[in-house]
Structure 1
Amino acid sequence: MEQQKLEKLLSKMTLDEKIGQLMQFAGHFYATNNNKDPVTGPDDLQVSSKSINYSGSVLGSAGAERNKEIQERYLAQSRMKIPLLFMADVINGFRTIFPIPLGLGASWDPMLVERAQTISAKEASSAGIHVTFAPMVDLVRDPRWGRVMESPGEDSFLNQEFAKASVRGFQGENLQADGERVAACVKHFVGYGAVEGGRDYNKVDLSERELRENYLPAFQAALEAGCELVMTAFNTIDSIPASGNQKLMREILRKEFDFDGVLISDYGAVEELIPHGVAADQKEAARKAMYAGVDIEMMSLCYENSLKELIGEGKVSVDLLDEAVLRILNLKNKLGLFENPYRGASIQKQNKYLFCPEHKEVAQEAAEKSCVLLKNNDVLPLRGGKIALIGPYADNPDILGEWSIFGKKEEAVTLKAGIAKHTSDYTYALGCPMYDRQETALTEAVNVARESTHIILALGEGSDRSGEGRSRSSITLPENQLELLRELKQIGKPITVVLFNGRPLDLMEVAELADGILEAWHPGSVGGTAIANLLFGKANPSGKLTMSFPRTTGQIPVYYNAYNTGRPLPEGSTERFYSRYIDTPNEPLYPFGFGLSYADFQYESLQLSANELKPGGSIDVQVLVKNQSDYSGEEIVQLYIRDLVGEVVRPVKELKAFQKVFIPANESKLVSFSITEEMLRYHHANLEFKSDPGEFKVLVGSSSTDLLSQSFYLK
C-alpha cells in the first residue's frame, strides 16, 4: 500500500480505533473473547471485549490454524479491516531449538547465527508469527542476572556483530516479498544488562560515556541492519524508567539514531512507571510514555484507559497519537498484511518446516560450535573403554533453555541418547536429582563408576534457574551435585564434567576435581548428539567464551576490558597497596575469549606493515598460526587494541576484530587484519567521538589473556 493510502486510512479512523492500534494483549484474550465483559487474561488482567476488538497486535499466539482463526474473527467485526500483528518471543529457535544466545555467542560465528535465525523465521512465519522479540543485545558483565542467557556476552564489538547477523537472519532482504521472514525487535533499550546487584528489573546507574561506549553500539548496529522494532527496558537510566525516558527514546533513539520504526514497551512496563514512582496513576503513566514515543503498550491499560481523556484535555496532542499509529500501520504494510492478512501462516509449511531434518542439521552444527572446552588433562576425546554416564543431566531433556517456549522437550536428544550413537559400552546412573541429595542414587553412581574406565558427569542448573526473573546471589552448582563430584573423585577414575547451564558459573571446585570440563550451555534440540560428537572426537571443540567465568561470586563484575587504576597490580605481586583482593586473584577463572581445542594452535611472528598509522591510511597486521597436532580444527583468532594514553581512562584492551579459520592438522595459516583510524575512536570528556594521536598496542592471540603484541603510533 502506498504511503498516501496509509495516511488516508489513518484520517478515517476514530479516536478509539487509533488508540486500539497501540494496545497489545496476549493471545488468550482473543481465544476466549465471546463479547461478554470483562475478559480475564494472564496476571488477572481484565479487558473489555471492545478493547480486544479494537487492538492492533497479539502477544505470544502461535500456530497457523489458531492465528488464522483469530485474524479472521477480528477482521470480520472490524470497521477499518486493519489486520492484527502477531508477535512472540522466538529467541533461540521456534520448534527447532538452537543453543541459548549466550551459547550461540560462544561460536564466534555471525554467519552461523544468521543461518539459525533464518530457520527460526521460516518456522515462526509458517505458524503465523509476524514479529519476534529478538535479538536481545544487552551487554552483560554480571552472571547473577538471569537474563544473561539471552545475551551474546560482555563485549560491545561482538554484540554488534551478532545483532547485525540476527537481524539479517530474521528479516532477510525484503519483508514484504519474503513471507518466510519475520520483523525483528531489538531489546531492551537500554542498559538492562547492567542492573544493580544482577537483580532483574532493578535500577541501572551508568554514565553517559559508559552507555555510549558499551551499551548503545549493539542497538545502533541492529538499527543500521534494518531492524524494524525496538523494545523498551524495564530499568531506569539516570533515575528515569526507560518507558518514560524522553532523552533515551526521543533524543537518542529517534533523532540521533534516526529510528522511525515501532517502539514497543516490555510486558506491563508502561504501568510500571507507577511503582517506579515517576507517575501517580495510569493517566500520568500514559502521558509520559506517549511523550517518550512508546507506540505499543504491551499488556497494561494506561493508553486504553487514559489517552482519550488526555487528548480531550489537551495534555497529549492528536499528532503524537497519529505518529504512533502511522508507524504501526507502516510496519503492517511492510509485512504485506494489507494484501495478505494471513501472511506466512500455513499448515502445509508447518508440517514441512517444523523440526525438519535440514533444520536439525544446522541446530547440531550450532551446538557443536557453541560448546567450549574449558579443561582437558588428556582425557578427551574418548578413546574406548567402559563409560560411566552419571548425573542429573545425563538423561535429561531440559536442554532447550528458558525462552524456547515453542520447543518440545520430548523431542530433545539427551546426552545419553547421543552417547548411545557412538558406543553401547556405557552404564547410566542418576547420581542425584537436580537439586536434592538422594542416598540410593549416590550409592548406585559410585558402584557404576567403580566398574568404568572413564566417568562422564553431566551437571548443571535447570532452565528454571536462569532467564527472566531468575537472578541468583550465588552462582555455584547445587551442593548435592558438588557432593556427587567429590564422591566420584575418590574412586580415582578420570572424570569429564559436561555442564548444562544458562550463565557463567563459579567452577573453582569443579576445576580442581575434574580432569576435563566441557561447557555445553543449554544446547538445544539436538544437543545430546552434538556433545557426544565432541566427546568422541567426531567433532573438534572450537567455541570460546564471550563472558568471563569468575573464581567466586565476590569478584563480580569481572570482565576483560576493565580500566586500569592508579595502582594497577604488578604481575605476581602480593603487596598490599595495589588494586587487588587479599583472598583471590583479580583475574577470572576462565577469561573472555578462552576455549581449548583438540588441536594445538601456536601463534608466531606478529608483524605490522608499518608502525605509523597516517590519516586515511591503514596498517596491515599478520600473524602465523600453526596447528602442531594431528587434529584439524577451527581457531578463533582475536585482535585487541589498547590506547595507552587517552583524554579519559581507556580499557586495558578492546576487541576490534576476529577471524574464525580452519587449519588442517600439522599445517599453518597466515591470518591478516587491517587497522584503521576508525577503530581507535572513543568518547571524550565532552562525549565527542574521535581518536587521539599517540601510541597504541595491537594484541593478537587465542584469548583475551594469551596474546602477542606490537606497538604502533597514530599521527
Structure 2
Amino acid sequence: MDTNKQSAFRDLNKNGRLDPYEDPSRPIDERVDDLLAQMTLEEKAGLMFHTILGVASDGSLAAAGFGGSPEEMVNGKLMNHFNVHGLPAPRLAAEWHNRLQALAEATRLGIPVTVSSDPRHGFSSNPVVSLTSGGFSQWPEPIGLGAIGDAALTEQFGEIARQEYTAVGIRVALHPMADLATEPRWARINGTFGEDATLSAQQTAAYIRGFQGAALGPASVACMTKHFPGGGPQKDGEDPHFAYGREQVYPGDNFDYHLGPFEAAFAAGTSQIMPYYGMPVGLKYEEVGFGFSKEIVTGLLREHYGFDGLVCTDWGLINDAEIMGKPFPARAWGVEDLTPLERMQKALDAGVDQFGGEDCPELIVALVRSGAISESRIDVSARRILREKFRLGLFDTPYVDPDAAERVVGSADFLAAGAAAQRRAFVLLKNGADAAPVLPLAGRPRMYVEGIAPEVASEYGEVVSSPRAADFAIVRLQAPFDPRNGSFLESFFHAGDLRFKPDVLGRLIALMAQLPTIVDIYLDRPAIIPELAAGSAALLANFGASDAALLDVLFGRAAPGGTLPFELPSSQEAVLRQRSDVPFDTGDPLFPFGFGLRYSAGSEQ
C-alpha cells in the first residue's frame, strides 16, 4: 500500500466510483451521514472507545506493553482512537503512525485512526497524566505558563506543540486542564494554570487557540479540555484516581467559580470535553462520578452551555484493571455496585460519547441487542466522532511525512522558545535582605551545589565539594509530599503534607547557617517554607526548568519574570482551615498569589 499518497480518491470501489463519504468536495455533514449509514453496530461501537496503545521502539506494529496488539484493536475490536505514551525518535514515531493508518485503511470502510497524547512538553514524569518531553521542545509545566501570565506566549506554545504533535500524527491533545488549584494539597496542580479563575480562563483560551487555530481543521490538534465541571476541590486534597480521593467538596459554596475557565474554553471553540472522576458531595447533583452524571453532562454541559462537541470519559471508569501486576479498580465512584454493563449504560444515558482507557465495544453491542440502549442513541455519538475525524482531515490526509517529523520535532527554534519560557517562569521570592540583593551573581564564584549537575554548574563558576570552601551554596529542591505505599501508580501522585520532613529541613537549616545559600524549589504544588524563606540568602520557585535555566537566571543572563500562580501557605494549620473550593483562602499566606520580585537580565550587583 502506498502510504505516501494523500488523496481520498486513491481507493475507488468496485463500481469505479467513490462513496460520498470518500469525496472531499462534499460537505462534512453529508460525508458523515453517508458513512454512518454504511456502518454496522459493531463498527459504530468501535468508534466509541479511546484507549492506550503502546508504540514499539522500532516503529513497527509489534505489541508494546499496553493492551492488545494494533491488529487486534483495529481489526478485531474495530477501534480507531488510541492514546500513546512513550514514543521513539520522531522518524520512527511517524513511521509507526503511518503503519497504523495503513492497517486502518485496509479495514472494510477504511476509517482512519485518531492518535492522542497527554502533555509531553514539560518536566513531569507521571505516566498517568503527563510525559517527559523526549525529543519534543521542553517548556515549563502549565502552572509555569500561569506564572508567566502571558496569553500570547501560551498561544505560541500551543502553536509550536501543535506542529510537533501533527508531525508525528498526534491529532488530539488530552489537555488543557481548566481546573483550579484551590486545594493546595492536590497532586495535579502542576497541570493547571493556578487558583485564579480569571487567569486560568485567559490561559485556557489561549492554549486552545494555539492547538486548534481559529477553527478546527486539517492543521489542528483537537483539545480535550478537562476536567469538567472542575477538578481541584478534592476532599483533603486527595485525587480521585484512587478510592480515598473520590469526593469533591464545596465548603465555600463556590461550585460556579470553577466553571469560569470552561466557559472560556467553550468560547475558544474547544472540540472535546472530559468530565472528571470526582463525585460531588453536598450539592444538588447526584453523588456519582461526573462521567456518570446526566445532570452534569447533559443538563449543565449540553443544555446549559450548548456544547455539541465530543465528550470522552476519563480513563478507566468501567472495568477493573491490573497495572504492573497489581489490581487497579475502575474509577466508578458512586456506582461501584453496578456491573460494567450497567456502568456503561449509565454513562451513555448521562450523555458521554467515548469511553477513555477502555476497549470493550462488545458491551455497547450487548446493550443495543438487549434493547437497553437504542441504536439511534449510539448514532448520536458516532456522528460526533466521525464529524471530528472529517474536520481534522484524517479521511483525506491520514499519513505524515517522516522527513518532516525529523525536521520539526525539537527544532532549534522550538527548543529555544521553550528554554526562554523556562527562564521567564522563575519566581523570585527573596533576594538578600535590608536592600542588599544577592542576585544576580557576578564573576565566577566558588559554588557548592546540590540537585544540580556539576558539569553544568562548572560553566558558571568553580564547583567545590564542601560548603566550607564555597562562597555560595546553591540547592535545588522538589516540593515536599508524602510518599504512598499503595499501587504502583500512587507513587507518581505527590499529595499529602506540604512541609519538609524534620531531617531534611534540619540539614537545610544547618547549611544555610554555614554560608549564603540560594534555594530553588520546583513547585508542582505549593509548599510550606517559612524556615527556608528566613534562612536563605535568595529563594526562587520554578515550574519546570533545566539546571542551565536556573543558573542563567542566577547569573543575570536571563531575568525571573514569573509571579506566584497560587499562594504559599504559612503553616499546615492554615491549610487544614482553608476551604478546598475557594481561592486565596489559607489565611495570612507566607507569599500571596501574584507575588514576585524582579531584576533585569544583564544587571550586576
* TM-score, normalisation: structure 1: 0.68
What is the aligned partner in structure 2 of residue 166 from structure 1?
207
DSSP-derived class of the 2:32 partner: helix
Q: Does 1:72 align with 2:129?
A: no
What is the aligned partner in structure 1 of residue 17 from structure 2?
none
DSSP-derived class of the 2:429 partner: strand
What is the aligned partner in structure 1 of residue 12 from structure 2?
none
Report matched runs for 1:212-611 at 5 Å.
Answer: 212=256, 214-237=257-280, 238=285, 239-271=287-319, 272=330, 274=332, 276-277=334-335, 280-301=338-359, 304-342=361-399, 345-377=400-432, 378-384=437-443, 386-391=445-450, 393-395=451-453, 416=454, 419-421=457-459, 423=460, 425-429=461-465, 448-461=466-479, 470-491=493-514, 493-523=515-545, 527-556=546-575, 558=578, 586-598=587-599
C-alpha distance after superposition, 1:404-449 (max 9, x if no partner): xxxxxxxxxxxx555444x3x32154xxxxxxxxxxxxxxxxxx22
Report matched runs for 1:74-113 at 5 Å.
Answer: 74-76=104-106, 78-90=107-119, 92=121, 94=133, 95-113=136-154
The one-letter amino acid paired with 1:588 is P
Q: 1:47 to 1:312 in 2, by over 3 A?
A: farther
1:107–1:543: 8 Å Cα contact kept in structure 2?
yes
Shift of 1:275: 5.6
The gaps in structure 2 that reach 5 residues or longer are: 1-23, 88-92, 123-132, 320-329
Report matched runs for 1:54-73 at 5 Å.
Answer: 54-60=78-84, 62=87, 63-73=93-103
Percent identical: 26
2:253–2:581: 8 Å Cα contact kept in structure 1?
no
- Higher fraction of strand: 1
Work out the CA distance in 1 between the residues paired with 2:518 and 2:353. Answer: 51
1:152–1:159: 8 Å Cα contact kept in structure 2?
yes
The one-letter amino acid paired with 2:82 is V
Q: 1:275 to 1:187 in 2, by over 3 A?
A: closer
Shift of 1:175: 3.9
DSSP-derived class of the 1:106 partner: helix
The one-letter amino acid paired with 1:69 is R
C-alpha distance after superposition, 1:624-649 (max 9, x if no partner): xxxxx9969xxxxxxxxxxxxxxxxx
DSSP-derived class of the 2:463 partner: strand
1:126–1:346: 8 Å Cα contact kept in structure 2?
yes
The one-letter amino acid paired with 1:320 is R
1:234–1:241: 8 Å Cα contact kept in structure 2?
yes
- Name the stretch that deviates more: 310-319 or 112-121: 310-319
1:501–1:521: 8 Å Cα contact kept in structure 2?
yes
Of 38, 48, 66 in structure 2, the residue corresponding to residue 22 of structure 1 is: 48
DSSP-derived class of the 1:28 partner: coil
Shift of 1:338: 0.8
2:61–2:99: 8 Å Cα contact kept in structure 1?
no
What is the aligned partner in structure 1 of residue 255 from structure 2?
211
Shift of 1:99: 0.6
Shift of 1:498: 1.4
Shift of 1:273: 6.0
Work out the CA distance in 1 between the residues paired with 2:481 and 2:115. Answer: 26
DSSP-derived class of the 1:194 partner: coil
2:567–2:592: 8 Å Cα contact kept in structure 1?
yes
Work out the CA distance in 2 between the residues paired with 1:456 and 1:563. Answer: 32
The one-letter amino acid paired with 2:84 is G
The one-letter amino acid paired with 1:556 is V
C-alpha distance after superposition, 1:517-559 (max 9, x if no partner): 0112222xxx333222211122222210010111222322659
C-alpha distance after superposition, 1:497-526 (max 9, x if no partner): 112241111112211211210112222xxx
Work out the CA distance in 2 between the residues paired with 1:451 and 1:235. Answer: 52
DSSP-derived class of the 2:270 partner: coil
What is the aligned partner in structure 1 of residue 10 from structure 2?
none
Work out the CA distance in 2 between the residues paired with 1:488 and 1:123. Answer: 43
1:229–1:264: 8 Å Cα contact kept in structure 2?
yes
Work out the CA distance in 2 between the residues paired with 1:287 and 1:51. Answer: 25
2:51–2:359: 8 Å Cα contact kept in structure 1?
no
Work out the CA distance in 1 between the residues paired with 2:580 and 2:233. Answer: 16
The one-letter amino acid paired with 1:547 is F
DSSP-derived class of the 2:249 partner: coil
Shift of 1:177: 4.3
- Aligned alpha-carbon RMSD (Å): 3.3
Q: 1:564 to 1:387 in 2, by over 3 A?
A: closer
DSSP-derived class of the 1:146 partner: coil
1:126–1:349: 8 Å Cα contact kept in structure 2?
yes
DSSP-derived class of the 1:121 partner: helix
Work out the CA distance in 1 between the residues paired with 2:61 and 2:120. Answer: 33
The one-letter amino acid paired with 1:182 is V
The gaps in structure 1 that reach 5 residues or longer are: 396-415, 430-447, 566-584, 600-628, 633-715
Work out the CA distance in 2 between the residues paired with 1:164 and 1:517. Answer: 32
1:146–1:465: 8 Å Cα contact kept in structure 2?
no
Work out the CA distance in 2 between the residues paired with 1:357 and 1:630. Answer: 24
DSSP-derived class of the 1:496 partner: strand
DSSP-derived class of the 1:216 partner: helix
2:178–2:226: 8 Å Cα contact kept in structure 1?
yes
The one-letter amino acid paired with 1:199 is E
DSSP-derived class of the 1:519 partner: strand
Work out the CA distance in 1 between the residues paired with 2:252 and 2:69. Answer: 37
DSSP-derived class of the 1:240 partner: coil
Shift of 1:246: 0.7
1:98–1:367: 8 Å Cα contact kept in structure 2?
yes
Q: 1:275 to 1:138 in 2, by over 3 A?
A: closer
What is the aligned partner in structure 2 of residue 144 from structure 1?
185
2:115–2:171: 8 Å Cα contact kept in structure 1?
yes
Work out the CA distance in 1 between the residues paired with 2:252 and 2:312. Answer: 23
**Which protein has the larger Cα radius of gyration, Structure 1 or Structure 2?**
1
